[in-house]
Chain A
Amino acid sequence: MTPPEGPREVSGGAPAAPELAAAQGATRRFGELLAVDGVDLAVAAGEVVGLIGANGSGKTTLIRMLLGLLDPTAGRVRLFGEPPSRQTRARLGYVPQSLGLYDDLTVAENMAFSAAAYGSQQAVLEGELAGARDVLVRELPLGLRRRAAFAIALGHHPDLLVLDEPTSGVDPLQRARLWETIRATAEHGAGVLVTTHHLGEAEQCDRLVVLAAGRVVAAGSLPEIVGDTTAAEVRTPIWEAAFTALDLARLPVSLVGRTLRVPGNDAAAVARVLADAGIPAEVGSVPASFEETFVVLAGEPRAD
């Protein structure tokens, strides 16, 4: 399966709201390795932008450049219209995947520490978090730990919020509550840049930027990115044999209940493999999910 040659087109034009973070042709080389290769990305006030990519796609390097922790080797990066600096850093909230909290301090102590560092007022703890203010962070369940990290990152009212895998490991209700905070932050005028491995969360973002091998391979809203990508859907009384045949043919087959799906626009190839193996099956073409589209875009390497 070959990935498309250029990036799938972005919804055109510059965003009307002020641009908070921007990468223009941002490139970062580490010796021989081109980690980020000419990436364009913008986050405007009031929007949630999802940055999606496999490991090694350049996501972390791009974020480090946006945070001002790493200089681009070519192209440029702007935060609030200027090169990232100590001043721009103060207008930014960042929650790393590891949360960046002190485990052996209480929630309130973590918050006081952060407020002192930013010279800002302490955030107000609401709901369940208020009841946990004097609990050591390491004794909190993961969901509350994540909410505490959010509250602390939002304490200095940042204009831009950068979140790395914000909902990893929590249950659906806690995930929905975290997204409520993220969406509310954007509705109050901040811009949000979020990375996630959980492609089901892509629908929570206003726009998505998909990275593969250091380049942008698709950008736009979820429906724009999925576009007319399809998957072959296979219905057969013997899914086990059909699965094995398609897997042996190195097609990226997946099992959904007792139905098989193969992302990509080649239902004919799927039908042929099954016919050659003498397996009775109905093969149809259905709209692809975002995850299936991602697999096609990322040019999924099959073990060969």
Chain B
Amino acid sequence: MSPEGTSWGCRRLGVRYGATVALEEVSFEVAAGTVAAVVGGDGAGKTSLLRALAGTVRPAAGTVRRPDERRLGYVSAGPGIWTDLTVDENLSFSGRAYGLSAGELDRRVGGLLERTGLAGARDRLAGRLSGGMRQKLALAMAVAHEPDLLILDEPTTGVDPVSRAELWRLLAASAAGGAAVVVATTYLDEAERAATVLVLDRGRSLLAGTPDEVVAATPGLVVDAATRPDGIPSWRRGARWRAWSPDGSTPPGTGLATLDLEDAVIVAQLREDQRWAA
């Protein structure tokens, strides 16, 4: 367990692949005992940030603060499991790679298998597990050595809601045990549960803070209407419309909306699009 008050992260991080800029000037921090969410779509830079934190990609600029690699757990997107090994073999193989003794391994693996619902599948080939079970196995492999920093790249993409709830319970349990947890997701209802959120867009930091802070910092006004309001950027929320009024006025036929993280991120992306178009 890491000492109270420890935090990990990066300052003004830049990552490049050849001529392609994947990340620029991104700063991020995650404290021990908390869950931080990194949000963004395909190509936003989530994976590059997580790789830089995990030390698998060298920054082109800026600094990264992370624990020794043996005190780190990393689950890449598309679970890094060995499909032709059994569940048990996967856990012991990765446990040994992190330097766990046979005794420690035995003690922890039993508990983890039980907690992940994989106890009945110990001898099954990992390649024969469902998507949700694979993700749970990958997570179990990353936490068996009780890391100080746990990094998870979209563990819940394509995972059904029941397995997703279990995965979030497992990563919250790691935070409860003192780990700093970083989780990338495209789902804002998941990000809303994290202690802090970083929203990435085209390799840059778009929004950062607690979910409440991010929502409260939305400029102008977000309004709700039954039909699409004229002249201002709008988007669907179910059968109704939301629209962003940059000058804070309430256009005719609209009322004040109760803002959530989804609206806040959409407004930030609309502003970013305007900036790029200008």
Give the interface of A toward B (CB within 8 A).
52-57, 97, 141-143, 165, 168-174, 176-177, 179-180, 183, 197-200, 203-206, 239-241, 243-244, 247, 252-258, 289, 291, 294-295, 298, 300-303
Partner of B157, one of A54, A169, A253, A291: A169
Known contacts A169-B41, A199-B189, A247 near B162 by CB under 8 Å: no
In whole angstroms, how far apart are the Cα atoms of A300 and B169 in the complex? Answer: 13
Within 8 A of A (CB), among B16-68: 33, 35, 40-44
Interface centre among B131, B157, B238 (most CB of A within 10 A): B238
On whether the beta carbons of B42 and A170 are closer than 8 Å, the reply is yes
On whether the beta carbons of B41 and A171 are closer than 8 Å, the reply is yes
In whole angstroms, how far apart are the Cα atoms of A216 and B154 in the complex? Answer: 29
Q: What 16 new A-B contacts, CB under 8 Å, besides A168-B158, A170-B186, A172-B266?
A: A55-B132, A171-B41, A171-B201, A176-B235, A197-B159, A197-B160, A198-B189, A200-B187, A243-B173, A247-B169, A254-B165, A254-B193, A255-B193, A258-B195, A291-B165, A303-B166
Which residues of B are found within 8 Å of A298, using beta-carbon distances? 161-162
On whether the beta carbons of A141 and B42 are closer than 8 Å, the reply is yes
Which residues of B are found within 8 Å of A180, using beta-carbon distances? 235-236
B188 within 8 A of A: yes
On whether the beta carbons of A255 and B168 are closer than 8 Å, the reply is yes
Interface centre among A54, A165, A294 (most CB of B within 10 A): A54
Interface residue count for B (Cβ, 8 Å)?
56
B71 within 8 A of A: no
* Binary CB contact string for chain B from 194 to 217 against chain A (1 if under 8 A, 0 otherwise): 110000010000000011000000
Give the interface of B toward A (CB within 8 A).
33, 35, 40-44, 114-119, 130-132, 157-166, 168-169, 172-173, 175-178, 186-189, 192-195, 201, 210-211, 235-239, 262, 265-266, 269-270, 273
In whole angstroms, how far apart are the Cα atoms of A165 and B158 in the complex? Answer: 8
Considering the complex, give the chain B residue whose CB is closest to the CB of A255: B172
On whether the beta carbons of A243 and B176 are closer than 8 Å, the reply is yes
Which residues of A are found within 8 Å of B118, using beta-carbon distances? 303
Partner of A55, one of B41, B131, B194, B266: B131
Partner of B161, one of A54, A171, A240, A244: A54
Shortest CB distance B32–A (Å): 11
Known contacts A55-B131, A291-B165, A174 near B158 by CB under 8 Å: no
